[in-house]
Structure 1
Amino acid sequence: MVPGEAGIEKRDSCWSQINNSDFDVVIIGGGISGASLFARMAAEGYKTLLIDKGDFGSATSQASGMMIWGGLLYLKSLDFRTVFTLCRDRDTLISQCPSRIRSQYYYYFPLKGGWQFTPLVKGGLDFYRLLGGVRRGRNYIEKNPGEKNLLRSERFRNPLAYEEGMLNFSDCRFVVDLIRQYDSDNAIPLNHLEFNKANYSGTDKRWHMELTDCFAHRTASITSRLVINATGPYCDHVNRIVGIRTPYKHVFSKGVYLTFRRPDSHVHPLIFEMGYNSDVQTFVPWGPVSLWGPTETSVDALDEEITPTAEDVSFLLEQANRNLRHSYEKKDIISFRAGVRALAVPDSYHAHHYPLELSRHYRIYLEKEKNWIAVYGGKFTSGSTLASLVMKKVARVLEPATRPGVAPQELTETQENFMFPGLEAAFPSPEHCSDHEYCLTVDDYLRRRTNISQWSARNGLGRDNENQAAVLEIIKRLPQRPGLVPETALEQYISTTDRLFANLMDQ
């Protein structure tokens, strides 16, 4: 069988289906916001197309700390509305997605000698639980945490235990599975698909769009009654391409995590007070690794590729060695996670604030004369709130759908397990991911359908490229991009990895 044959046949069928078709809604951007809107539009019965120039669940949606939390840090700025909304959305996700999100106690460590003495912190956490409707477990002081041997205990008091949510597998896997649940004849998702042109016609009240398949190098033309720009940090850029002006814009905060080998005693997410800017550092167990971070750095300009810098790495290592007992060095780093938080502000905003001082609220703009909706801001946890806010805007320009809505599908297909050198976990095979999960490239597979590139050193290649043969075997089992042989695809993957790690590790 040709690698990825079933998946390519489905993609070809979808391509034929969309070409010269008219949609109710086109959603640009396949991250958590786009996926949440895709699910809602499909459930409402609208004929919907979801597109992303890269892979689903990439960019910012693949760079979280795996925590589904209710916005505890915004309690310090008295932003009760944000805390209430995020707590509600957190609890909705936990109840609706029990196989993908679990309840999890976190340990919050107050500094010794600081103003955050234990009764005050516990009072704040109790108020946080109250704002969340008392739906999480009781808070308590953990007098003998199992992770005590991991930290410099002379810096901290006994931790406060409080309950949040935690992703079971990964953030990008969550996004892909949400899209898959609503994939149907009238709700079509296509990744690695870019729009080249988009013009609105006042005559037929339609957007006329030209699309390019970045994988198979072909074009298609479609029309749509409504377009939703859910491209996250790239929202302003996409608006400019089509000539849309809004009263909002994004400012950016870059967040970077390092991953280290997980100590055996590391079970709970650990939250450490930094002692300034009301900020924290976290140490989060994730499979065989532990995430340390994040940074919270204002970014003036958004590059096409979001990558950490040598300064990010140095800062995180310094903070890790300040708080954790083990002395970490660059050689201990397994992988990096880097993304930007897109924070919505008025278009006239020119001040400079520490990112945590800005709200994570959505701002939804409707250009009614052209049936264009732009989504600003937001957070991984708050997809359901976004869908409700956008639906209010949709109702102003589209009548209710006459088609029956799509019910979420159970993802029950049998999958073949795949083992990767040096990792004990079993992953879905490359064939399964290409046939059922829109997986087209080696980066799609190693980074977003599995956690291999995050759990194995140097994007899965190994510290000395010892896994090179295993990565080549994966490439051969995935769909073959026209004009690109597997050996060349491997060379490109190695080159990208070498460039990233050389820039960060050799300085």
Structure 2
Amino acid sequence: MSQMMRRDFSRLNDRTFDVLICGGGIYGAWTAYDAALRGLKVALVDRGDFANATSSASSKLVHGGLRYLENFDFKLVRKTLAERQMLLAAAPHRVRPLRFGVPVYRDSRLGSFRLAVGLTLYDGLAGSINDEQGFKRYDNSEFSARFPFLRTAGLKAGFTYLDAQTDDARLVLELVAGAESAGAVCLNYCRVAEFIERNDKLSAALVTDQLTGESVAVQAEQFVNTAGQWAGLLQHGKRNYRLSKGVHLILPNILDGEALLLTAKADGRVFFMIPWYGRTLVGTTDTDYDGDLDAVRVENKDIDYLLSEVNGVAGNVSWTREDIIGSFAGLRVLKQSDRSSPSAVSRDWELHASGNGLLTSIGGKLTSARSDAAHIVDKLCENLGVRQACGTFGKPLPWSPGGDVPAWSEAMTRRALALGIDKESAYWLLFRHGSRVTDVLALCESHPDSASRIVPEAPFIVTDLLFCARSEMIVHLDDLLRRRLPLLILAKLKPEDLRRIAGMVAPELGWSQEKIESECRRVLQAYSLGGS
């Protein structure tokens, strides 16, 4: 049985850590994992759940960023492509290859020649790309056959190229679990209430358990701020970054295993249509944000923009609001810039060091977070006088199956099907849990009635729900149904579904009937129908 993630606030007491990391998104998770592997004594806390903001609101892509070539951001593209190639090899369960189609219409901003040049450069920067992985060109009829729902009027040609996708929240959780296995103390729902300084340098942080109200002064030698959109709150309210809102919609599936990169008619921005858990993920918007950090919402204008753009390229589909299954909004943290459009601001990353010793991570991307976290941990080691190189590049992720992955995948799928799990759910079970799928299947064997789907329309089984509740540090119902399993955005759950699901996991979580009702109310308030 794999290690369970236990939430024990007392583990912060009576010890001095080498580093306290504040913020459990992708940057905090990679930093904690890297630092723990280098032998540092690590604590990681998040004011909410792990990956509860931007890191569960991404486009779910591990990609180089083809569009950044237009801005001549070769350094960023080379870095992200190196990370993509590494993750495809080191985490085949977590990061899967995904082909993208790019249609070329008569009125397209980029014609076939410029696209071919860009894709040649993109593949070249990735290095060691073979014919199977490289980009391909198609005439209009061939491209229409691959994407039959696309508008054919004015279609001249099309290309496909290779990138990759993941489940962003699962990736964060896997890294947090890996950090814990390497000795780190990782806790959700723990807020850094204030920092304590001695001789103008940080020496401790007052951390409050959001569940009990208990506080402890956590002693550490170094402090890292990976709080994303809330980073300014830890810097005396100074916000030295720009925020941009990104919205995604979940719509019925019309893709056959390949994604699309499209250009919006309204503003020339790039947006995606991506197959994800048997649905179509459409996004994203990119608009400046200056509102409440705790109330980032999908607004009517965001929905109108995305539906209009998707319907504009679809020939035989006309989606309306009633077709929206789920939606979500998140904030990108961008470097300060005087560029008028957030889309024109570089997605590269920087590390700020405050006079009191606080290291703050600004900007960056899901794909390049490992590389950036390595720089953070290099700096920590330098400050601590520790000589230990980064070991995360190329290292298999904590739940990587290792060995012959196709053979492992085939064997696990056979075992799942024999237990009565449907083929699609089995496919996604391996993607979600990697090597830990053996524990999930063992649980299924001891609960034979749990091989069925939680709800018919989404590929998640009851055993998966029980396993996550038992072993993945669940505090609230939406931790389970939005981040451990993204059910809240992939199915239109009714209040009675929520009560039924909460009732299923109540014995695992020790919830009373009163607690079940309060958790259901909490979710219903936060996740209105079709909203986020």
Place the TM-score, normalised by the shorter chain, in its bin: 0.7 to 0.9
Question: Cα offset for 1:148?
Answer: 2.6
Question: Cα offset for 1:474?
Answer: 4.1
1:381 matched to 2:367? The reply is yes
Q: Percent identity?
A: 23
Tell me, what secondary structure is at the counterpart of 1:444? Answer: helix
Question: Cα offset for 1:382?
Answer: 0.5
**271, 276, 279: which is aligned to 1:286?**
276
Matches within 5 A, 1:103-122: 103-122=97-116
Larger displacement relative to structure 2 (205-214 or 230-239): 205-214
Tell me, what secondary structure is at the counterpart of 2:275? Answer: strand
Matches within 5 A, 1:9-408: 10-12=6-8, 15-135=9-129, 137-143=133-139, 144-145=142-143, 146-167=145-166, 170-184=167-181, 186-202=183-199, 207-240=203-236, 249-263=240-254, 265-275=255-265, 278-324=268-314, 325-345=316-336, 349=337, 351-367=338-354, 369-400=355-386
Distance 1:54 1:154, change over 3 A: same
> CA-to-partner distance for each residue in 1:252-280, whole Å, 9 max, x for gaps?
111111111112x5320111122575522
Tell me, what secondary structure is at the counterpart of 2:383? Answer: coil
**457, 464, 480: which is aligned to 1:423?**
457
Tell me, what secondary structure is at the counterpart of 1:384? Answer: helix
Contact 1:211 1:220 in 2 (8 A): yes
Q: Aligned partners of 2:391 and 2:88: how far apart in 1?
A: 23
Contact 2:244 2:342 in 1 (8 A): yes
Tell me, what secondary structure is at the counterpart of 1:159? Answer: strand
Give the structure 2 partner of residue 3 of structure 1. none
TM-score, with normalisation over the residues of structure 1?
0.86
Q: Aligned partners of 2:146 and 2:60: how far apart in 1?
A: 19
1:448 matched to 2:483? The reply is yes
Contact 2:195 2:202 in 1 (8 A): no
Q: Aligned partners of 2:347 and 2:307: how far apart in 1?
A: 27
Q: Aligned partners of 1:270 and 1:121: how far apart in 2?
A: 14
Q: Aligned partners of 1:436 and 1:475: how far apart in 2?
A: 12
Tell me, what secondary structure is at the counterpart of 1:209? Answer: strand
What do you get for the CA RMSD once the two structures are aligned?
Answer: 2.7
Question: Cα offset for 1:388?
Answer: 2.5
Q: Aligned partners of 2:240 and 2:514: how far apart in 1?
A: 39
Question: Cα offset for 1:475?
Answer: 5.3
Contact 1:155 1:323 in 2 (8 A): no
1:470 matched to 2:500? The reply is yes
Question: Cα offset for 1:313?
Answer: 0.8
Tell me, what secondary structure is at the counterpart of 2:509? Answer: coil
Contact 2:37 2:182 in 1 (8 A): no
Instruction: Name the structure where helix makes up a greater proportion of residues.
Output: 2
Question: Cα offset for 1:488?
Answer: 2.3
TM-score, with normalisation over the residues of structure 2?
0.82
Q: Aligned partners of 1:231 and 1:237: how far apart in 2?
A: 9
Larger displacement relative to structure 2 (278-287 or 423-432): 423-432
Distance 1:7 1:178, change over 3 A: closer
Contact 1:44 1:401 in 2 (8 A): no
Q: Aligned partners of 2:31 and 2:138: how far apart in 1?
A: 40
> CA-to-partner distance for each residue in 1:393-443, whole Å, 9 max, x for gaps?
2234211179x9999644536123553122352345444223321122110
Question: Cα offset for 1:391?
Answer: 2.8
Q: Which consecutive unaligned segments of at least 5 residues does structure 2 have?
A: 400-434, 445-449
> CA-to-partner distance for each residue in 1:275-331, whole Å, 9 max, x for gaps?
575522211111221011211112234521221111111111111211123111110
Larger displacement relative to structure 2 (120-129 or 416-425): 416-425
> CA-to-partner distance for each residue in 1:160-187, whole Å, 9 max, x for gaps?
11111111xx210111011112213731
Question: Cα offset for 1:70?
Answer: 0.1
Contact 2:469 2:505 in 1 (8 A): no
**443, 464, 479: which is aligned to 2:509?**
479
Contact 1:52 1:191 in 2 (8 A): yes
Distance 1:155 1:171, change over 3 A: farther
Distance 1:104 1:477, change over 3 A: same
Question: Cα offset for 1:147?
Answer: 4.1
Distance 1:484 1:22, change over 3 A: farther
Count of aligned positions: 474
Q: Aligned partners of 2:498 and 2:473: how far apart in 1?
A: 24
Q: Aligned partners of 1:401 and 1:389: how far apart in 2?
A: 14
Tell me, what secondary structure is at the counterpart of 1:487? Answer: helix
Contact 2:506 2:512 in 1 (8 A): no
> CA-to-partner distance for each residue in 1:21-64, whole Å, 9 max, x for gaps?
21000101111111110111011110000110111111000111
**522, 525, 530: which is aligned to 1:492?**
522
What amino acid maps onto 2:468 in structure 1?
Answer: C
Q: Aligned partners of 1:438 and 1:200: how far apart in 2?
A: 31
Q: Which consecutive unaligned segments of at least 5 residues does structure 1 have?
A: 1-5
Question: Cα offset for 1:155?
Answer: 4.4
